[in-house]
Amino acid sequence: MRRNLLALLVALGTAAAAVTAAPAQADPVGTLACPSIPANRDPAVTLVVYRVARAHNANDKVLLSAFEAGWVESHMNNLPCGDKSSLGVFQQRWDYGWGTPEQIMDPVYASTQYVTRAIVCDRNNPGYSAGQVAQCVQRSGFPDRYDQVAATARAQLNEAARTHAIAGGSATDVTGDGRDDVVGFTQNALADVYVATSTGSAFAGTSVKWNDFFSVGGETASTGDVNGDGRDDIVTFAHSNTGDVYVALSTGTAFGGGMKWHDWFAPGAEIGAVGDVDGDGRDDLVAFTHNAAGDVYVALSTGTGFGPGLKWHEYFSPFGEFPALGDVDGDGRDDLVTFTQGPATASDVIVALSNGSSFGAAQKWHDLFAVGAEQPRVGDINGDGRDDIVTFTCNADADVYAATSTGTGFAGTTVKWNDYFCLAGEFPYLADANGDGRDDIVVFTKGSTNDIHVSLSTGTGFLGATKWHDFFGLNGETTL
Ligand SMILES: [Ca+2]
Ligand SMILES: [Ca+2]
Ligand SMILES: [Ca+2]
Ligand SMILES: [Ca+2]
């Protein structure tokens, strides 16, 4: 998928040609005035800025400052032009020590330059506002502009955080006993991975570390049985401009050392997911470009690595939608599912079935599910072998709706399976916690309590919640 780098270079060349067509003498690289600046953010740029800041463990103020600076300088676009020699999302100048024009036009590089300087500035000036931190890095002639856009920057920061948190997988049986366990990735400077194993009625073990360096901040931490031994392993997508994918195999009592299983998959702002799309018992990689192109790539597991990234669908789950994987027709191969997440009039669920070597045409399987900011999930809640859909409102209503797969559609509209589960700020997930073949609902409360609650599936509803763990998953950690 080096197409992204190529596309960037082509775009740069095109823009340069378009702008330099007018003057008789071509400007040197990186001294092109912008004819105009896009009115809105490029969601791919905002997600990269977010991921890079998380990778450096930037605090909230530094994160906000990056979004303020990016909005003021470029409306969060990777501009191949600017004032004097300014370029890129932060309008950095190659003739003032920010890097080469090519480096500055790499949003990962540009964000790294911004964030590392902002962290130092914040550390040296703890009383600064986010906008003052931005000014400290940018040294603008208009120092007040950054704080003035705080509301816009906050909204885009929240949007990027939500996109980054898309969790399209589900299986977490790391011991291979048929009961799903819970896995927590700290994703801070320590990058620890904790596990609490299911006893069938609780998650056992507090602060039991299964790996002590895996999945740093800004990466997508996931799980799946990539070598097909019946135990779910951990997988992390580095994204960035490396596109690395690391795996750590489960031994049943720990995860082994991290191994690179792919060196270019789901880079930059793409969304990574793990599932068995060819039905050979080994979980594979899926990448959604999640942009206007909407391409979907697959890299099949060989048991010891992932093969080349191949395009399996031309247009599925563009930006704004919530992509996921699940075997919705029960043929043993994971299919594509996307929740369009619009208003009630436009919150569809679209499926593209796997045939083992590609995904078929997109078909609407439901037309009112997971409205707006709800949290959708995919799993087999009634135990018939076909994956179903569940959505959590995670607000004051705390409702949980479900629709079950018939093999050709999802049946049930506004059918509530539980009426009090998952509040704002909590993270819901599906897991077969008691090993009866039906996926249950799990919520990580985080916040001040750090509890895990489970509601078991009866096949037609979820029972009342019970606490299965009282200290697992802090704010900012990924818990699955
Ligand atoms: Ca395994
Ligand atoms: Ca497979
Ligand atoms: Ca299938
Ligand atoms: Ca089912």
CA distance 109 to 163: 21
In 345-450, DSSP assigns E strands to 349-352, 363-366, 375-379, 388-392, 400-405, 410-411, 416-418, 427-431, 440-444
State residue 370's pLDDT score.
98
SS3 assignment, position 399: coil
Counting ligands in written order, the one closest to the CA of 230 is: 1
DSSP 8-state code for residue 206: S
pLDDT tens-digit map of 162-219:
999 998 877 899 999 999 999 999 999 999 999 999 999 999 999 999 999 999 999 9
State residue 242's pLDDT score.
97
Q: How far is the CA of 327 from the centre of ligand 3 (A)?
A: 4
Token pair in block for residue 238: 């580095």
CA distance 8 to 44: 13
Q: Is the pTM of this model over 0.75?
A: yes
Q: How far is the CA of 469 from the centre of ligand 4 (A)?
A: 27
Counting ligands in written order, the one closest to the CA of 378 is: 4
Mean pLDDT, the chain, integer: 94
Counting ligands in written order, the one closest to the CA of 402 is: 4
pLDDT tens-digit map of 370-426:
999 999 999 999 999 999 999 999 999 999 999 999 999 999 999 999 999 999 999
Q: How far is the CA of 382 from the centre of ligand 4 (A)?
A: 5
- Over residues 236-258, mean pLDDT: 98
Q: How far is the CA of 219 from the centre of ligand 1 (A)?
A: 21
- The answer to whether residues 318 and 243 touch, using CB atoms and an 8 Å cutoff, is no
User: How many CB atoms sit inside 10 A of residue 63's CB?
Assistant: 23
């303020």: which residue's tokens?
68
134: enclosing H helix or E strand: helix 130-138
Counting ligands in written order, the one closest to the CA of 437 is: 4
CA distance 198 to 74: 49
Q: How far is the CA of 281 from the centre of ligand 2 (A)?
A: 6
> pLDDT-derived band of residue 7, with 50, 70 and 90 as boundaries?
very low
Start-to-end C-alpha separation, the chain: 28
CA distance 220 to 236: 5
> pLDDT-derived band of residue 75, with 50, 70 and 90 as boundaries?
very high
Q: How far is the CA of 81 from the centre of ligand 2 (A)?
A: 44
Counting ligands in written order, the one closest to the CA of 354 is: 3
CA distance 361 to 306: 25
Q: How far is the CA of 208 from the centre of ligand 1 (A)?
A: 19
pLDDT tens-digit map of 439-480:
999 999 999 999 999 999 999 999 999 999 999 999 999 999
Q: How far is the CA of 302 from the centre of ligand 2 (A)?
A: 8
Q: How far is the CA of 303 from the centre of ligand 2 (A)?
A: 9
Q: How far is the CA of 153 from the centre of ligand 2 (A)?
A: 40
Q: Does 262 have pLDDT greater than 70?
A: yes
> What is each CA distance from 445 to 33, 72, 125, 431, 448, in whole angstroms?
49, 36, 33, 16, 8
Q: How far is the CA of 249 from the centre of ligand 1 (A)?
A: 6
Counting ligands in written order, the one closest to the CA of 386 is: 4
Q: Does 119 have pLDDT greater than 80?
A: yes
SS3 assignment, position 397: coil
Q: Does 369 have pLDDT greater than 50?
A: yes
State residue 27's pLDDT score.
52
Count of CA atoms in the C-beta half-sphere (13 A) of 452: 31
């930059």: which residue's tokens?
268
Q: How far is the CA of 229 from the centre of ligand 4 (A)?
A: 24
Q: How far is the CA of 138 from the centre of ligand 3 (A)?
A: 51
Q: DSSP letters along 442-480, please?
A: EEE--TTT--EEEE-B-SSSB---EEEESS---TT-EE-
State residue 55's pLDDT score.
97
Q: How far is the CA of 337 from the centre of ligand 3 (A)?
A: 11
Q: How far is the CA of 198 from the centre of ligand 1 (A)?
A: 17
Q: How far is the CA of 381 from the centre of ligand 4 (A)?
A: 5
